[in-house]
């Protein structure tokens, strides 16, 4: 740590503050210290820190499905950013079940993790009490809506889906299909994105048509199957807004199989801006939900709790900044 401090031109205490995630360090100083850490290959001695402070230097990350591009990208980013702060990350898969999401909490306590980042799909407000414990926890997701119940990081789901749908309408679409959760579904990303889709139609003076909204899962196969349902029904559509990029990639495949050209015949937009979106043919227009900002916020909240710098009852919520990345699937470059 002394060598890092010398290389960065700061005090040892400043290096310690950066490694432990203290917020009262300027961005310029933090970047200088992290650069020195990378150049010198500095790693925290986890065993020594555990003996001294009772911490392990390990945090847990529980996600529904590591094979999904979004969650794989999320995990890689968390591992990278947490490593720069001196933490190792153990990743586990919950399979999007309530039992396993609650199990991730129990496992984290048994394995003496310093904290847990939990991506929830099934836990709701009725489970909030189980998240309030001595284990620092940050929740990623939308199902827990009770204000101040837990530290939470969310996406701008309504706003992002609304902007993607507006974009298709501005490009000339008048019958925009939506692939994902139905209106009125249980609270979650899909239902919120459905609400954003509906808002955009209302604002453009276009009617919502039940036959243009197809409920489906979140895999590529689900997206392809949903498009085939639309095509088999004979329902005309000139645009498709997909509630995830994996759905959109499947939709592109099904449209191509049916001889429909994107964007000449149908425009397609996705959500999540996973890395693969830039490499599909055509490349996929997608809503980027602010991956880096959400990860940084989650790690800041978690490390502050681990360090005891947050009041037990003072919980924070953060929503990532979104932007629409326009690519070839909607006529972009």
In this predicted model, what pLDDT tens digit does every residue of 192-243 receive, in sequence order?
A: 999 999 999 999 999 999 999 999 988 999 999 999 999 999 999 999 999 9
Question: In 120-224, at which residue ranges do the beta strands (DSSP E only) sit?
Answer: 137-140, 151-154, 176-180, 213-215
Tokens of 157: 């789901």
Is 0.95 topped by the overall pTM? no
Per-residue pLDDT tens over the stretch 249-301? 999 999 999 999 999 999 999 999 999 999 999 999 999 999 999 999 999 99
Please check whether residue 4 is in contact with residue 37, taking contact to mean a CB–CB distance below 8 angstroms: yes
Please check whether residue 7 is in contact with residue 37, taking contact to mean a CB–CB distance below 8 angstroms: no
Q: In what order do the strands lie in the sheet with 58-63?
A: 88-93, 58-63, 115-119, 137-140, 151-154, 317-319
- Average pLDDT over the chain, rounded to an integer: 89
| Cis geometry, peptide bond prior to residue 227 (ω within 30 degrees of 0) | no
């Amino acid at each position: 740590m002394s060598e890092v401090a010398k290389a960065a031109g700061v005090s040892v205490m400043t290096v310690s503050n950066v490694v432990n995630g203290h917020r009262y360090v300027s961005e310029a100083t933090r970047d200088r210290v992290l650069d020195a850490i990378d150049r010198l290959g500095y790693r925290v001695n986890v065993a020594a820190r555990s003996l001294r402070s009772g911490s392990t230097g390990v945090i847990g990350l529980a996600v529904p499905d590591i094979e999904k591009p979004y969650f794989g990208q999320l995990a890689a980013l968390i591992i990278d950013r947490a490593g720069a702060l001196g933490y190792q990350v153990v990743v586990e898969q919950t399979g999007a079940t309530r039992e396993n999401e609650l199990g991730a909490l129990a496992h984290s306590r048994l394995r003496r993790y310093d904290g847990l980042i939990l991506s929830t799909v099934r836990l709701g407000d009725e489970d909030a009490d189980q998240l309030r414990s001595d284990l620092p926890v940050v929740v990623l997701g939308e199902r827990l809506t009770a204000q101040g119940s837990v530290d939470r990081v969310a996406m701008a789901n309504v706003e992002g889906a609304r902007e993607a749908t507006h974009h298709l309408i501005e490009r000339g679409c008048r019958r925009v299909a939506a692939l994902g959760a139905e209106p009125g579904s249980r609270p979650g990303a899909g239902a919120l994105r459905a609400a954003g889709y509906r808002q955009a139609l209302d604002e453009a003076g276009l009617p919502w048509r039940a036959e243009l909204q197809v409920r489906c899962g979140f895999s590529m196969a689900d997206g392809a199957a949903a498009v085939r349902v639309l095509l088999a029904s004979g329902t005309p559509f000139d645009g498709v807004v997909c509630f995830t990029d994996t759905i959109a990639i499947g939709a592109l495949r099904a449209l191509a199989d049916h001889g429909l050209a994107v964007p000449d015949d149908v425009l397609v937009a996705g959500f999540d801006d996973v890395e693969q979106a830039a490499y599909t043919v055509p490349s996929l227009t997608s809503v980027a939900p602010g991956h880096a900002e959400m990860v940084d916020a989650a790690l800041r909240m978690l490390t502050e709790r681990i360090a005891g710098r947050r009041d037990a009852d003072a919980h924070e919520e953060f929503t990532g900044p979104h932007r629409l990345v326009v690519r070839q699937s909607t006529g972009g470059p």
